[in-house]
Chain A
């Protein structure tokens, strides 16, 4: 268990303590862990499995069942590009392509090499009136165009 030491271990233990090592609260535990690391580190899941008394394979099953959990390290900025019906009609495909080009990512390789960006396609963000919509972490960007998308990437890159 290489990664699980020092502060990481302390953090996971605090999450487990918060939920009383209760396996029926496993989703909440995993959400808290993902919030900190932006993904679910394998070592953390193995550690949690032992602590709450679930098999690793079961925990892996939960983590892979829900689209919201990720087992791969994500970029600092997770960009959720809506490809729902309303966004599609208002040309979200061109926004998506502009973001792929600007960040150097693609559908098969959604993480940028600099570790800054992860692109995700989602079906609907429930903000159809603002379409086309892109969500970056917790911020909603409305009425996107390819130009606005490129500017957004540029701005985030400057913020680092």
Chain B
């Protein structure tokens, strides 16, 4: 059978199973503008920017048009250009354009299209932007309805991918707004702060709650010892901002950049990812031995923890009490620099970490474990503000002691990584054959839900891995209905895991696949593969924790219930 082709702007464009004409065009190098379309969400057809003209001179939305063999469309005919111009003008009329001071300036798609299509002024003098109040209730994200263009991407992300539905459209016509029901603030909804809404928002209507000025204050305070840790996924999200390939980790440059910014001490969160595995696998084996209720759920992801607390509170006792790697490093930093005036900063791919860091439980010996969480996005802005030529930086190593890590730690950044690290730990064999067997057991891949069985000695462990809270909910339903049984379940709230976190620069699926590749490259670069090989762990347990490991590395949230 001959290949299927359609004609876009007179060019033959082959296609196979693309969902719509928009995808066919983009795949063939023709960028049709759109503000309400996302490859991972249902089709809305609301923004009317992707209109194309067919042979009969009729305009139709490319996002809602099925490709078919021989179909002819034009993407920059006079009619299309006029329509696009008017649509953009009308959008500008209902958007509070404060581009000079807007945080998303330079990242805003509406701004980009206004420039690209020469829309120099709005259609009417009066602007009808929403006067609904700014929502700063969440420590993770900020909602500014005055900049919302009602594209509905955030609504679909929250409902379809995360199965939360914290926000939706309300009212109608020119009074229509997006927000929580009943005029509530985000903090009073099922919102877990994952930031996926901010990642898809084409304007500045939903943004990361950025705290860059605070960081500058601390970096410039000579009395403060600023100790910075950075998570596995930061090394794979940063490069693309500086025009570098996304499939190569930039760990060395990241450390150099942090030092040049003025950080006094720099650590790689990978060390405490290793530590998490030591604690979590011990906890798991203990639960198996004592006959405790399974499955045990992972606890690294703060979005997931909040989702359990808000939507499945009865499952909380089955969630591991291990602190996240960020929390654990916070605890180590306080032990390492006991009486010093240390400001503890975590660079994370995650907006929900901003909430986690504020939780009352993350305080030990009267000190906050983490003073400030910045996202990968915020770090990129800091680096730019400091005028650092990131792409040409030399490499540096994290500080020592506490600078060592294994490949098991770095793979935390991608869905399945925590589980793979646990299996490496439990099988206790770093031979290439065993590592290969583990990698091929079904744990890898970016699918939403994976399920497989691993045998360790006489123990057969049934494992599931989910990314995206909608997938987690599906899995929980199967477990609760008795359809499936698992011993261990890993959940990451963001699609694809932390590499796709809400604090990362927004990225397409293809870009996220490259980041995944970069994570496994970083694993390949590590000589040590299994957490128990980490030479710093002896120092951690013997010199820093001194018998207080459980007290300092485990977090008992209220719903975890009673513990000894």
Contact = CB atoms under 8 A, between A and B. Distances in A.
B182 A42 contact: yes
A18 interface: no
Interface in B160-209: 164-172, 179-182, 184, 189-190
B159 A58 contact: yes
A73 B540 CA distance: 62
A71 B159 CA distance: 24
B167 A57 contact: yes
B171 A65 contact: yes
Nearest to B172: A65
Contacts of B165: 54-58
B172 A60 contact: no
A65 B169 CA distance: 9
B contact patch SS: loop
B145 to A, nearest CB: 14
B171 A64 contact: yes
Contacts of B169: 61, 65
A45 B184 CA distance: 14
A57 B172 contact: no
Contacts of B179: 57
A27 to B, nearest CB: 15
Interface in A58-102: 58-61, 64-65, 71
Nearest to A49: B181
A61 B182 contact: no
A69 B180 CA distance: 18
A57 B171 contact: no
A93 to B, nearest CB: 24
Given A42-B182, A61-B181, A56 B172 contact: no
Contacts of B166: 55, 57
A45 B172 CA distance: 19
Contact of B168 (A42, A46, A60): A60
Contacts of A71: 182
A64 B180 CA distance: 13
A26 to B, nearest CB: 13
A2 to B, nearest CB: 15
Nearest to B181: A60
A56 B179 CA distance: 11
Contacts of A54: 165
A59 B168 CA distance: 9
A123 to B, nearest CB: 14
A65 B180 CA distance: 15
A56 B189 contact: yes
B130 to A, nearest CB: 14
Contact of A60 (B159, B164, B170, B190): B170
A71 B179 CA distance: 17
Interface string B139-157: 0000000000000000000
A64 B178 CA distance: 12
Contacts of B172: 64-65
A71 to B, nearest CB: 8
A114 to B, nearest CB: 27
B138 to A, nearest CB: 15
Nearest to B168: A57
B154 to A, nearest CB: 11
Contacts of B159: 55, 58
B362 to A, nearest CB: 29
B109 to A, nearest CB: 24
Contacts of A45: 181-182
Nearest to B163: A55
A56 B170 contact: no
B76 to A, nearest CB: 36
Contacts of A46: 182
B181 A56 contact: yes
Contacts of B171: 64-65
A43 to B, nearest CB: 10
A58 B182 contact: no
B132 to A, nearest CB: 13
A56, A58, A61 — most chain B CB neighbours (10 Å): A61
A82 to B, nearest CB: 21
Nearest to A71: B182
Nearest to B175: A64
A118 B221 CA distance: 62
A78 B190 CA distance: 36
Which 8 A/B pairs are nearest by Cβ-Cβ distance? A55-B165, A60-B181, A57-B168, A57-B181, A56-B181, A64-B170, A61-B168, A61-B170
Given A45-B181, A61-B169, 6 more contacts: A42-B182, A55-B165, A55-B168, A58-B165, A60-B181, A64-B170
Interface of B: 159, 164-172, 179-182, 184, 189-190
19 contacts: A42-B182, A45-B182, A46-B182, A54-B165, A55-B159, A55-B165, A55-B166, A55-B181, A55-B190, A56-B184, A57-B170, A57-B180, A57-B181, A58-B165, A61-B170, A61-B181, A64-B170, A64-B171, A64-B172
